[in-house]
Chain A
Amino acid sequence: MSEIFKIMVFPGFLFLVLTSFLVEYLDRKLHARFQNRVGPPWYQPVADFIKLLGKEIIFTKTADKIVVSTMPVFALAATVTAYLYIPLWRHEAIFSFDGDMIVVLYLLTLPTFAFFLGAWYSQSIYAMFGAVRSLTQLFAYEVPLLLSVLASALLANTWSMDDLTRFYSEHPGYWLFNLVGFVTAVIALIGKLEKVPFDIPEAETEIVAGWFTEYGGVFFAFIRLTLNVEMIVGASLLAAVFLPFGLGFGPALGFLIYAGKVLFIILIITLTRTVLARLRIDQMMEFCWKYVSSAAFLQILATLTIKGVLNP
């Protein structure tokens, strides 16, 4: 019973959905204030969600209705599942096994594929373009993300998220070795979340709304929800892997530290999307492969060297 409560209510599905509204509000409000605008009131994300639920559902004539309508739910499910394997403010996640880090990364890749399929089967030229761009982009950010997470895992010598956080708690200060990896991982996360400067798959002025052009009503509501949840889950993953300090201080203080870490990462993402322009897909490829991936590789080299020095 308590397992189901954890999955469905706290800190699982319901908690994630509610905080995702809060995070969306913070993101939008901060973005607006940075841009010298007033910004939305606190209930705006909830109001948007409710309004979208009440909208008419429209499919394009040639769309495959089953694929198009199931993919947003599939993506949301994958993202929420990934959250269950991430240690938040204790050393233990809700579920854990050796190798769950790979599963989390895999589950976080699924939404991109789900949205690709949904967009492809909606049979709109704009959505297809967005979908293809989304997949092209996937290869550019997934490699540095995996490499930087790998660097942290190499140092801890484990593939389990729980053991990883435990290792860094036993060796305080070791997380500082992974700072380059943290930066590359944040860049990769921005690519994953498709935020400026990597919002190429949904570039409004080129391909309307990109891969979700044909999505409306309840499906669009779920897509937005998924993207916000993905932002929290991605930030939690980075917090667990790269900022593994302050764990095990009990529920209240621990939660505050966890929230602070996640908000810090979200602040970086919001700030980046405020001060930069959108790149072109070829520029994004070049940047990610040439610089971000190389930096992640350097991080791995550095980690291996440090590991050799520390445990001869």
Chain B
Amino acid sequence: MSPLKDVDIAVGPQHPALKEPASFLVSLRGETITSVNVKVGYNHRGIEKATEDRTYLQNLYLLERICGICSHTHATCYVQAVEELAALEVPRRAQYIRMLVGELERLHSHLLWFGVAAHEIGFDTLFMYSWRDRELVMDLLANITGNRVNYSVNTIGGVRRDISAEQAADILKAMDTLEERIKYYINVATEETTLINRLSGVGVLSREDAASLGAVGPTARASGIPRDVRKDDPYCAYAELDFKVCVSDTCDVFGRTVVRLRELQESCSMIRQMLAALPEGPLTVKAPRKVPAGEAFSRYEAPRGEDVHYVRSNGTEKPDRVKVRAPTLANIQAVSKMLEDRFLADLPIVIAAIDPCFSCTDRMVEVRRRGARSRELMSWEELRRHGIEWYRARGVDMGTLSRKYITR
């Protein structure tokens, strides 16, 4: 028996290691983690519910704002489902432009991750370098879409912006620099001693655990599972591209780093292929305002893993139900497993290694009464009343406030 008592330390909801609110209540014995209690749901924004009040086209812009990093992911995933419902044939040039923006997004997302991961283990120089090079990609995205974050390049039935020959040349030029930098980062990650010490053997998730916990994306691929929607169930025109699914069998954070860095190389090569084979033709087909009744299910390989959108239509111009499952929800289950018997110092990098995006994940509120056996779900009306009463009990009357401040 250890004479030390377990100590609880709260990592989150507000903590320097986390870029978004999520709670990890860690029990420690000395520096060793005995248990982790993961809680998400601090950033629920009611986006799914809000889609039911908006038209299909308006929803595109709303869903693009689910995530600030993989905004194109959610927009494309949703628009694919709607196009399937409306039986639209997206022009090939539009598909290529979608893929191009998608791969650029993967580049900037992985470079961002690499920087954050370096910061989590106290390697700020690498963080600065990686974010400096990420700016190259951000500039490209701003150049071809007009925006750095929410690119708004999709529309139902195609894309809104074309790529000119000069823009293509700019992209190719940036790819030269980037490929060189990525090679440098791979050297750093595989040769720098302190970095290897901090990453290797940390956050181990065996192949079996990764499979049973349903890990996706680089988390699964670093555990030796070649799971990639771009290969398994190609969307857009990924079937026409030549690329490898990067896999590592080290099953640890080091493997996740290497997988992501190799994917950067693959993305660069894919972008070159796309620009070389960019087909001519129109950018959009005409999309109907009302979408025929039915349901569609769309998959997309986001930088963090498989993103899933489900859209059900009732024949009107607004969807009946939109369900989003962001990749972090699939990966977050694996975190407690990875942290078993690890040190407190490993906690930030292990959490960061799944590349979490908590506000993308936070979808649903589930209320469980204390002592009650069955789970209860609140209806929309009940939730609204509960909110009003909760504030009223604390002396805040939203009705008076809105009359006072929102005058027309």
Contacts and interface: CB of A to CB of B under 8 A. Distances in A.
B211 interface: no
A36 interface: yes
B345 A277 contact: no
A64 interface: no
B362 interface: no
Residue from the set A126, A129, A204, A282 with the largest chain B CB neighbour count within 10 Å: A204
Interface string A169-202: 0000000000000000000000000001101100
Interface stretch (B41-49, B101-109, B194-202, B254-262): B194-202
B337 interface: no
B348 interface: yes
B31 A281 contact: yes
Contacts of A274: 125
A307 interface: no
Contact of A36 (B119, B128, B346): B128
Contact of B348 (A200, A206, A283): A206
Contacts, number: 80
B120 interface: yes
B194 to A, nearest CB: 4
A204 B7 CA distance: 19
B139 to A, nearest CB: 16
A278 B123 contact: yes
A37 B17 contact: no
A233 B128 CA distance: 30
A277 B344 contact: no
A280 B197 CA distance: 9
Contacts of B11: 206
A211 B11 CA distance: 16
Contacts of B57: none
Contacts of A279: 194, 197-198
Residue from the set B10, B118, B197, B348 with the largest chain A CB neighbour count within 10 Å: B197
B347 A206 contact: yes
Interface string B119-155: 1111111101100100000000000000000000000
A233 to B, nearest CB: 25
A35 interface: yes
B10 to A, nearest CB: 8
B61 interface: no
A8 interface: no
A275 interface: yes
Given A125-B7, A125-B9, A205-B17, A282 B122 contact: no
A206 B17 contact: yes
A282 B31 contact: yes
A203 B122 contact: yes
Contacts of A207: 9, 344
B327 to A, nearest CB: 22
Contact of A197 (B16, B194, B344): B194
Counting chain B residues whose Cβ lies within 8 A of the other chain, the interface size class is 20 to 34
B343 interface: yes
B197 A283 contact: yes
Contacts of A42: none
A276 interface: yes
Contacts of B10: 125
A106 interface: no
Interface string B341-355: 001111110000000
A203 B7 contact: no
Interface string B1-42: 000000111110001110000000000000100000000000
A200 B345 CA distance: 9
B132 to A, nearest CB: 6
A278 B132 contact: no
Nearest to B192: A277
Nearest to A197: B194
A278 B121 contact: yes
A196 B197 contact: no
A35 B125 contact: yes
A34 interface: yes
A199 B122 contact: yes
A137 to B, nearest CB: 12
B195 A35 contact: no
Contacts of B125: 34-35, 274-275
Contacts of A199: 122
A146 interface: no
Top 7 A-B residue pairs of the complex, sorted by shortest distance between their CB atoms = A278-B122, A277-B123, A205-B17, A205-B348, A35-B128, A277-B194, A280-B345
6 contacts: A36-B128, A125-B7, A125-B10, A199-B122, A277-B126, A277-B194
Interface of B: 7-11, 15-17, 31, 118-126, 128-129, 132, 192, 194-195, 197-198, 343-348
